Chains A and B, each alone.
Chain A
Amino acid sequence: MGQNIFQKLVTLVRGGATKAGEAIIDANAITIFEQEIKDGQSNLDKAKKDLTLVMAKSMEAGRKISGLKENIAKHEGYVEKALGKGDEALALEVAGKIAEFEGELQIQEGAKAQFDTHIKRLKSQIKDTQQGLDKMTRELTMVKTTDSVQKASQAISQNYANSGSKALSAKESLNRIKARQQETEDRLAAGEVLRAEFEGESLEDKLRESGIVEDNSGAGSVLDRIKAKQNQSN
């Protein structure tokens, strides 16, 4: 298995090959990856099919083996009975049959052992292939995401480059934003002060006009105050 997607990105960075517009993901890489996964999947399907076939054969051999063993046991009984009757010739004939069964049993046992070894091998092969496929599928998702994020961020960069926004340096931008924020704050504060003054003034005027608040700041009121004081002391 080759480099994973992050290793590829780091290799590109170390090689200095991250210029804008440069494709990190080879256009063919995804297609190749997808083909590899497809091949892996069909290998897996074939291995699974083989496995069922071999398992069926193993079971068949197993059935034959038990059938043969039964037959051997049965015929051994016949031999004993023939010997009991003193029929040596019949016993020999049956023994010949048993030898035949035993030969067949040996063949079937050998075949079953082979099938079982094959089953073991196929099972571990299927497990490995499945693990490899899972890993590849995970990587493909990462590669595809990297690719689409790259395309999206490239589209963004392209638009950014065309927008003329980069005419300003970051510091100039910051200064403008800060100046604008300060101006807004100043304007809000100034508005607040003005509003307070206007409202305060007009309210006082109204109160004075209606006589609720006496005009006690003029010369007239000062004179009245002094006169009142004199009258008190007299």
Chain B
Amino acid sequence: MLEMNGVCKSLEKYEDDQGLNFDVQQLPGEIATLSVVVNGVEELPIYISSTDEEVLTVCHLFDINEVKPELEAEMNRAMLTMNVPMPLSSFGIVGSQYVVFGALSASSDIDELVHELITLSANSVDAIEALSDYLK
């Protein structure tokens, strides 16, 4: 069972054989939220939060204002098309922000979460790169 305090401690200790590690911060607020930065990708922090059923990992890509207005519909279509083949993550919209997110069962273990975070981080960079023609 993934619980935010434990997740925070485990992620802080984590380091893989290529020196990949996480910078983790616990964020204030009513709902336990973590901000996680994968080293080398500091500009795209990943936020982790959980409900009874699932652990949500979210990375903000860009604001709707950054999208060329005339290409918005086309971009949305492209994102829906990319959604299916994209490993582990999906695109979504929260407010005015385009996000890429993953959802894990709350009964997942920490290794699965680490895998999720690394994949999400790579997906975020790849997605912005792939979508940059649609951005101002």
Q: Report which A residues bind B (CB closer than 8 A).
A: 18-21, 145, 148-149, 151-160, 163, 165-166, 168-174, 176-178, 180-181, 184
Inter-chain contacts of B132 with A (CB < 8 A) = 170-171, 174
Contact between chains at B33 and A155 (CB < 8 Å): yes
Residue B30 CB within 8 A of the other chain:
yes
Contact between chains at A156 and B33 (CB < 8 Å): yes
Contact between chains at A149 and B95 (CB < 8 Å): no
Contact between chains at B51 and A165 (CB < 8 Å): no
A178–B61 CA distance with the chains assembled, in angstroms: 15
CB distance from B42 to the nearest CB of A (A): 8
Contact between chains at A157 and B97 (CB < 8 Å): yes
Known: A21-B95, A156-B94. A149 touches B43 (CB 8 A): no
Contact between chains at B58 and A153 (CB < 8 Å): yes
Contact between chains at A177 and B40 (CB < 8 Å): yes
A59–B129 CA distance with the chains assembled, in angstroms: 76
Contact between chains at B44 and A173 (CB < 8 Å): yes
A53–B133 CA distance with the chains assembled, in angstroms: 72
Inter-chain contacts of A173 with B (CB < 8 A) = 43-44, 128
Besides A151-B30, A155-B29, A156-B58, 13 more A-B contacts (Cβ < 8 Å) are: A148-B53, A152-B50, A152-B56, A153-B99, A155-B31, A156-B49, A157-B94, A159-B29, A160-B45, A163-B35, A168-B43, A170-B62, A171-B132
Inter-chain contacts of B42 with A (CB < 8 A) = 177
Known: A168-B43, A170-B66. A155 touches B95 (CB 8 A): no
Q: Report which B residues bind A (CB closer than 8 A).
A: 27, 29-31, 33, 35, 40-45, 47, 49-54, 56, 58, 60-63, 66, 93-97, 99, 125, 128-129, 132, 135-136
**Looking at B99, B128, B135, which has the most chain A CB atoms within 10 Å of its CB?**
B128
Contact between chains at B47 and A159 (CB < 8 Å): yes
Inter-chain contacts of B129 with A (CB < 8 A) = 174, 178
CB < 8 Å neighbour of A152 from B33, B62, B63, B96: B33
Inter-chain contacts of A168 with B (CB < 8 A) = 43
Inter-chain contacts of A158 with B (CB < 8 A) = 29
Contact between chains at B49 and A160 (CB < 8 Å): no
Inter-chain contacts of A152 with B (CB < 8 A) = 31, 33, 49-51, 56
A154–B119 CA distance with the chains assembled, in angstroms: 23
CB distance from B46 to the nearest CB of A (A): 9
A163–B93 CA distance with the chains assembled, in angstroms: 19
Q: Top 10 nearest A-B pairs by Cβ distance?
A: A20-B95, A173-B43, A170-B62, A152-B49, A148-B51, A156-B47, A155-B31, A159-B27, A174-B128, A170-B128
Closest to B67 in A: A170
Inter-chain contacts of B50 with A (CB < 8 A) = 152
**Looking at B58, B61, B95, which has the most chain A CB atoms within 10 Å of its CB?**
B95
Contact between chains at B43 and A165 (CB < 8 Å): yes
A44–B52 CA distance with the chains assembled, in angstroms: 29
Contact between chains at A177 and B30 (CB < 8 Å): no
CB distance from B80 to the nearest CB of A (A): 14
CB distance from B119 to the nearest CB of A (A): 16
